[in-house]
Amino acid sequence: MFVNGAVLFPKCTFPLRIFEPRYLKMLESALKTTRSFILSFEDEDSEVNSYSYGTMGLITSAVKQNDGTTLVMLEGLFKVKLIKSDSNHQNWAYEKLSISDSNLDFDLVDKLKLSYNRLCDAIGDCDFPKNLSLSKNVSHSCDVIVDFLVSNIAFKKEYYLINNINKKLTIATKVIESIFLKN
């Protein structure tokens, strides 16, 4: 499914209202089989190239509405690179992508922890994930921070394509620090 104004990060949840007949058909098929499909922010009309990415998402709930649409909650599983589709553009071959936390710059991790803790202390009882494990799954924690704090879709798309853990750490830290610069 191609949605220009949405970025689904792995291990994050995204709500969708599905109304196009072809996507309703795709949803019906997914619900009967794997309960998953790829959500891509790429322009569907452009040819798939080396810059076509998406996230395999698991349907955690799907509720049909009286107007014929379906509300879906999609949980990101993992990033994918789109390779090719069938003639109907319903099924895509993809390559699963991952990012390794093995080359971490621990000074960057410590800097992010300090900024994150400062933010958690400052926001009080706000709806913000205050229990991120910055020691175990650093990449996921960075994704959650950017997903929650950034509203600019173009920025999220650029961030999504980063495949270097230390660059993700730097950006997530800068996102948090930018909040304090505004005040």
Tens digit of pLDDT for each residue in 59-93? 999 999 999 999 999 999 999 988 876 655 566 67
What is the structure's pLDDT at 45? 60
Per-residue confidence at 116, pLDDT binned at 50, 70, 90?
A: very high
Instruction: Calculate mean pLDDT across residues 121-141.
Output: 84
What is the structure's pLDDT at 127? 77
Question: For residue 19, is pLDDT > 80?
Answer: yes
Instruction: Calculate mean pLDDT across residues 40-65.
Output: 78
Residue 51 vs residue 19, higher pLDDT: 19
- Burial of 10-19, coded b for 16+ CB within 10 Å and e otherwise, reads bbbebebebe
What is the structure's pLDDT at 62? 96
**3-class SS string, the chain:** CECCCCCCCCCCEEEEEECCHHHHHHHHHHHHCCCEEEEECCCCCCCCCCCCEEEEEEEEEEEECCCCCEEEEEEEEEEEEEEEECCCCCCEEEEEECCCCCCCCHHHHHHHHHHHHHHHHHHCCCCCCCCCCCCCCHHHHHHHHHHHHCCCHHHHHHHHCCCCHHHHHHHHHHHHHHHHHHC
